Amino acid sequence: MTALGLVGGLVQPVVVVGASPLLAGVMRQVRARLEGRAGAGVLQPWRDLRKLLRKEPLAPRGTSEVFRFAPLVLVATTLVVAVVTPFATTDSAVGPVADLFAVVVLLALGTVALALAGLDTGTAFGGMGASREMTIIALVEPTLLVAIFALSVRVGSTNLASIVTSTLHYPARVVSPVSLLAAVALAVVIVAETGRLPVDNPSTHLELTMVHEAMILEYAGPDLALVELASAMRLSVFLGLLANLFLPWGIATSAAPAAIAVGVVAWVAKVALLGLVLAAGEVFLAKLRLFRVPELLAGSFLLALLAVAASFFLA
C-alpha cells in the first residue's frame, strides 16, 4: 500500500458518502426544471435521510436476518468499492481488491442481497421486484465484465488502477474503437444497474413498472435510509468508474495535498457532469416495457463483445 493509495482510500469513501445524496438532489432538480417544476431543492435527499434516521426501525412479521442485514450489505459493498477503486488517485488502497472481477462481484453482491430481502418479505411486490432485478442483473453483469475486460486486454491486467494509469499515459486510446464501443456498453449498464430510465423509473410507485422500488417497499426508518443512501452511492460509484476509465485526466498521481485536491475536484466535476447529462436525458425518455429491456441489454452486450474483438485485433 502506497501513501497515495492510502490517501485515496481515506478520502474517496468520505466524498462518496457525503456527496452522493447531493448528486441525487441535483439530478432531481435538473429534471424538475426541465419539466417546468420548481423542485424540492438539492438538499432534499439529505433531509429525507435525516427524517428516516429519526424514525423507529420496523421489520415485517416473519422476515429473517436476510431482510435486516441486506441494507448493511448494500452499503458495505459499495463502501469497499469506493475505497479500492481509483477515483481520485491512480493508486488503490487495496490493490488486489481493485481487480475488475472483485469489484464487479462486490457490486453484484449488494444487488443480490437486496433481491433476497425482497423475496424474504413474502409479498407479491417484493417477489415481483426481485424476479425483475435478477432478470436484469443476469444480462448486466456479463456486459460490465466484458466491457471493462476489453480495456484490460491492451493493458495486460484486469486491475482497474492499471487500466486508469494506462489511459492517462496514452490519451489517444480514448478515441479508439475499443474505448468508444466499451463506453457505450458501460453507459447502458449504468442505466440498468442504477435503476434509471428507460430500464426503471426511480420516482414511480406504479406496481406495473417498479423494479428497485418494489424490493424496498417493506423497508422503513433507518433501514430505508441505508437503502436510499446506498442507491445514491452506487450511482456515484458507477458514474465515477465510467468517468475515470475513459477520461482519467485530473486524477492525482502523487500524494501532494494540491494533487489530491485537484484529483477530488476533477472526480466530483466529472461525476456531476455525467449525472446532469443522465438526468437531462431521462426527461426525453419513456420507460421500456419489461420484455423490451433484455433487447436493450443484449445490444449493449454485443457492443462489449465487439470491443473485446477490436482490442485483440488492434493489440
How far is it, in rounded angstroms, from Cα 120 to Cα 215? 10
Cell readout for 25 is 438532489
Residues 30 and 27: their CA atoms lie apart, in Å, by 5
Tens-place pLDDT, residues 103-146: 999 999 999 999 999 999 988 888 888 999 999 999 899 999 99
For the cut 90, the answer to whether the pLDDT of residue 93 exceeds it is no
First to last CA, the chain: 31
If you average pLDDT over residues 159-177, what whole number do you get? 89
Among 264, 255, 249, CA closest to 91? 255
Q: Left if phi > 0, otherwise alpha if psi is -120 to 50, otherwise beta: which for 210?
A: beta
Distance between CA atoms of residues 107 and 193, nearest Å:
9
C-alpha grid cell, residue 298? 443484449
pTM value is 0.95
Q: Decide if 226 contacts 73 (C-beta within 8 A).
A: no
Q: What percent of the chain has pLDDT over 70?
A: 97
SS3 249: coil
Which residue do the cell numbers 464501443 mark?
Answer: 181
> Is the N-terminal amide bond of 198 cis, ω within 30° of 0?
yes
Q: 213-234, pLDDT tens digit by residue?
A: 888 889 999 999 999 999 999 9
* pLDDT tens track for 176-216: 999 999 999 999 999 999 988 888 877 766 666 678 888 88
Average pLDDT for the chain: 91
Taking only the tens place, the pLDDT of each residue in 263-288 is 999 999 999 999 999 999 999 888 88
Smallest CA-to-CA distance from 185 within 272, 285, 310, 282 is with: 310
Question: Mean pLDDT, to the nearest integer, of 152-172?
Answer: 90
Query: If 0-12 CB within 10 Å is exposed, 13-18 middle and 19+ buried, where does residue 8 land?
Result: buried
Q: At 99, phi and psi to the nearest 5?
A: -70, 150
- With cut-offs at 50, 70 and 90, classify the pLDDT of residue 90: very high
Is residue 260 pLDDT above 80, yes or no? Answer: yes
**What does the pLDDT read at residue 112?**
94
In angstroms, the CA 69 to CA 137 distance is 21
The pLDDT of residue 206: 62
What percent of the chain is predicted at pLDDT more than 90?
A: 67
Q: What is the pLDDT of residue 94?
A: 86
For residue 196, what pLDDT is reported?
Answer: 86
What is the C-alpha separation between 116 and 63, in angstroms, rounded?
A: 11
Query: What pLDDT does residue 288 have?
Result: 85
Q: Is the pLDDT of residue 255 over 80?
A: yes
Quote the pLDDT of residue 39. Answer: 85
- Tens of pLDDT, residue by residue over 10-30, are 999 999 999 999 999 999 999
Which pLDDT belongs to residue 212?
82
In this prediction, residue 314 has a pLDDT band, given cuts at 50, 70 and 90, of confident
Does residue 88 surpass a pLDDT of 80?
yes
Compute the distance between CA of residue 189 and CA of residue 34 in angstroms, rounded to an integer: 25
Task: Identify which has the larger pLDDT, 290 or 278.
Answer: 278
